[in-house]
Copies of this chain bind each other. A is one copy, B any other.
């Protein structure tokens, strides 16, 4: 499972992920070769320190294809042909379609390992790249019956060295998983946010933390998401159809209530919210562990430079480790609420310590 990093890695595509890979591998002494169809993007990645341009003598041990999902299979096929001794991987967020396409082309699948580091950002391009992009993030590797174990070990070594948390799946499992945990949430966020477009200003002003959170990822790039959703169409359809069915049932229940014949309708509504409770509770806690119930301490923080720092300093001085922190915005008032999540065992001690120091502690 462990091994040495390849001496030379070729990165095809110098967007956010490709450039971040180049930065991270270069920092570890790997000879990184950069190439991109756009000369400007390629030069930018080099100038940022992600690697060097290609030369005729290149002999990469690994090629990483960081191209958009709709061309990834073609680019992987070309790289397998051009570098017959190299292992080839990619970083595309859909896996079954490209694999099928490579198989149809008769490519040597023993040297191909599918990859998907779940390390996207709302920003894209080389300028948003960073060497630590993969640290602590899941990095799915997908294999087929043909995959050479040595090829898998090589890609796994690279993913781990860059801080990724490797998960092995087959391509279909991967696509079903991301349809639920990434693609459906994106669609839901867009559907809700789209309703805000024509809302009166006075109504928009009522927006609170709930809709902010639900719609945050609705700010994502339409071109990128069109490719992702189109590239995983079949799996995304399966998830969205289930949501459509649930939504249809909810609408029938609400219609019945609006029409004054609500028999059983309230049970349908409560049932959906309960299902949501159960699903939401499965999301892992911090650091990928099992869900942990943290205790929550709410502190009123004056909106002045340094106040939040002073609060967190006092938390640290109390010897308490902060597990999570959420700030709540206050419309029109110079005050914020900091919700500090801590282990239940230290909650009471923290409350007392902060109160003694004059903090306005709630929750």
List residues of A whose CB falls within 8 A of some B CB: 118, 123, 128, 130, 132, 135-138, 140, 163, 165, 167, 169, 173, 176-178, 180-182, 184-197, 199-200, 202-208, 210-223, 225-226, 229-230, 233-234, 236-237, 239-244, 246-248, 250-251, 254-255, 257-258, 262, 265-266, 269-270, 272-284, 286-288, 298, 300, 303-317, 319-322, 324-325, 327, 329-335, 360, 362-363
Known contacts A137-B331, A194-B272, A202 near B169 by CB under 8 Å? yes
**Are B211 and A213 touching (Cβ within 8 A)?**
no
In whole angstroms, how far apart are the Cα atoms of A202 and B319 in the complex? Answer: 34
Contact B330 A284 (CB under 8 A): no
- In the complex, which residues of chain B have a beta carbon less than 8 angstroms from the beta carbon of A363? 123, 128, 130
**Contact (Cβ within 8 A) B237 A258:** yes
| Cβ-closest chain B residue relative to A318 | B305
Contact B329 A215 (CB under 8 A): no
Chain B residue nearest to A338 in the complex (CB): B325
Q: Which of A186, A286, A332, A363 has the most CB of B within 10 A?
A: A332
Q: Do B330 and A287 touch across chains, with their CB atoms under 8 A apart?
A: yes
> Do the beta carbons of B130 and A362 come within 8 Å of each other?
yes
* Set B128, B180, B236: member contacting A199, Cβ < 8 A: B180
A-B contact pairs, 25 of them (CB 8 A): A118-B206, A132-B300, A132-B360, A136-B330, A169-B202, A181-B196, A182-B210, A184-B195, A185-B215, A188-B188, A189-B210, A204-B283, A204-B284, A205-B288, A218-B280, A219-B281, A220-B273, A222-B277, A229-B254, A244-B248, A287-B329, A305-B322, A308-B322, A310-B316, A313-B313
Chain A binding surface, main DSSP class:
helix
Selected contact of A279 from candidates B163, B196, B255, B287, CB within 8 Å: B196
Bound Cα distance A207, B281 (Å): 12
Contact B331 A165 (CB under 8 A): yes
Q: Contacts A138-B205, A169-B202, A191-B272 given; 7 further ones with Cβ under 8 A? A: A130-B363, A165-B331, A194-B278, A195-B279, A210-B216, A222-B270, A229-B254
Residues of B within 8 A of A255 (CB): 233, 237
B246, A137: Cβ atoms under 8 Å?
A: no
A230 to chain B: closest CB distance in Å?
Answer: 5
Report Cα–Cα, A45/B134, bound state, in Å: 49
Q: Contact: B193 with A138, CB < 8 Å?
A: no
Q: Is the CB of B137 within 8 A of A273?
A: no
What is the minimal beta-carbon distance from A162 to any residue of chain B, in angstroms?
Answer: 11
Instruction: State in angstroms the CA–CA spacing of A222 and B330 once bound together.
Output: 26
A287 & B333 in contact (Cβ 8 Å cutoff): yes
